[in-house]
Amino acid sequence: MSSAAEWRALIDAIGDLPDGAPTAALATLVRTRGSTFRHAGTRMLVHVDGRVVCELSGGCPQSDIVARARAVILEGKPLRVAYNAESGLDVLMEMGCGGELEVLIEPIERNEAMPWLAPIETCLRERRPATLATWFARDGATIAPCHALGDGTTRSTPAHDTLHAALLRLRPERATVIAVTDAGGHDEILLEPVQPPHSLVVIGSNATSHALLRLADALGWQATLVDNDPRRLDVSSLSPAIVTCCAAPARLRQSLVLDPSTSVMVMTHNLAQDAACLHALEGMPLAYVGALSSRERAALLRAGLEAPGWALHAPAGLDIGANTPGEIALSIAAEILAVQRAREGGPLRAGVSAVHA
């Protein structure tokens, strides 16, 4: 599915479209099977001149999708295209991915798209998870897609009543197509979670924390640098998008937005400071909590914790032989992502699950 950063890029790009007839098309992966680079719920915007926003990756038949999207813009009608053993096999063989895709392509007009995109933008800004429903087929035939968000912020129409009924049935963790049968016919609806942007809070201003913040920013995470000395927060080499916060350990909960989509990395290089920070955060339902430490230092930090079952990742990071600040940052970011995706973080050649989750 599309990440929060990709949603942000798509919403901005659609908001910049001219009013009037469609000048772009939205391509959505509605079903995937086997080895594919991206999975259901992933979207790409195609402009009439062939420019794309949030490309689907070279591992899928992107050039063919772009060509079909440009035709959809001109014709003004939605299209579904399958790339599998029965159709589009030549494109898949050329790409060599071995997977199968079904892609929904809908013409996009700014005025029609913004009413359903605006609630998504609000959820992302307010860091509220939601579920998006896209009704795209009836009795096997592709229809003009209808969209609704699971928090009930869209307007009420008969089409959206159908979508809200579907949303009440299921709130999936991953994008999935459900079948809804009623007196009117057999409907196919894509349900997908819309997750808040991942947030990383780094406590302690130093070379390694700065390298980690730069990497987090490149990954599209919302990044915050925290230190109790305002002088250490003046780091000209960091992106203006990285927020700074001057706070002592006892004020962390009051000074920061901390939620299940937030990871915290404690790295002050001071044992007492690190311990005080962890004590202040203890028990909070965070996505990840880590500390930069040796094994001996990690044991001391754990000894001061009281909340049972509260996972502290210390020493933080994956074992990649990291030494420099940049390498250590890469190791930590990789572990955060692995925990976020419920993966072990080992070599891909040794795994048995899908390469791209």
Three-state SS for 89?
helix
CA distance 222 to 220: 7
Structure token pair of residue 267: 């790295």
CA distance readout (Å), 118 to 22, 87, 115, 193, 215: 18, 36, 6, 16, 29
Q: Taking Cα atoms as reference points, which of 111, 132, 112, 135 lies closest to residue 121? A: 132
- Side by side, the strands of the sheet bearing 185-194 are 141-149, 130-138, 185-194, 176-182
CATH fold for domain 199-340: Rossmann fold (3.40.50)
Say what the pLDDT of residue 164 is: 66
HEC states along 286-309?
CCEEEECCCHHHHHHHHHCCCCCC
State the pLDDT at residue 59: 53
Could you give the CA distance from residue 11 to residue 214 in angstroms, rounded to a whole number?
24
How does DSSP assign 150-193, residue by residue? TTS-SPP-HHHHHHHHHHHH---SS-EEEEEEETTEEEEEEEEE
pLDDT in tens, the chain (357 residues): 889 999 999 999 999 999 888 899 999 999 988 777 788 999 999 999 999 999 987 556 889 999 999 999 999 999 999 987 665 555 544 445 567 889 999 999 998 899 999 999 999 999 999 999 999 999 999 999 999 888 655 544 455 666 766 666 667 788 999 988 876 789 999 999 999 999 999 999 999 999 999 999 999 999 999 999 999 999 999 999 999 999 999 999 999 999 999 999 999 999 999 999 999 999 899 999 999 999 999 999 999 888 767 889 999 999 999 999 999 999 999 999 999 988 888 887 776 666 555
Eight-state DSSP code of residue 346:
-
Q: In sequence order, what DSSP letters do the residues of 124-162 get, joined into one string?
A: HHTT--EEEEEEEEETTEEEEEEEEETTS-SPP-HHHHH
What pLDDT shows up at residue 338? 95
Give the residue range(s) of CATH 3.40.50.720 domains in the chain. Answer: 199-340
Q: What is the pLDDT of residue 357?
A: 52
Q: According to DSSP H, which parts of the chain are helical?
A: 4-15, 62-75, 89-95, 110-125, 158-169, 207-218, 252-255, 271-281, 295-303, 325-340
Measured at the CA of 146, the angle between CA 17 and CA 132, to 5 degrees, comes to 90
The residues that bridge with 100 in the sheet, in sequence order, are 33
Write the CA distances from 23 to 53, 71, 166, 168, 275, integer angstroms. 13, 11, 31, 34, 55
Please work out, in degrees rounded to the nearest 5, the angle formed at the alpha carbon of residue 140 by the alpha carbons of 137 and 142. Answer: 40
Phi-psi region of 154 (alpha: psi -120 to 50; beta: other; left: phi over 0): beta
CA quadruple 91, 93, 94, 97: dihedral sign? positive
Q: What is the pLDDT at residue 35?
A: 74
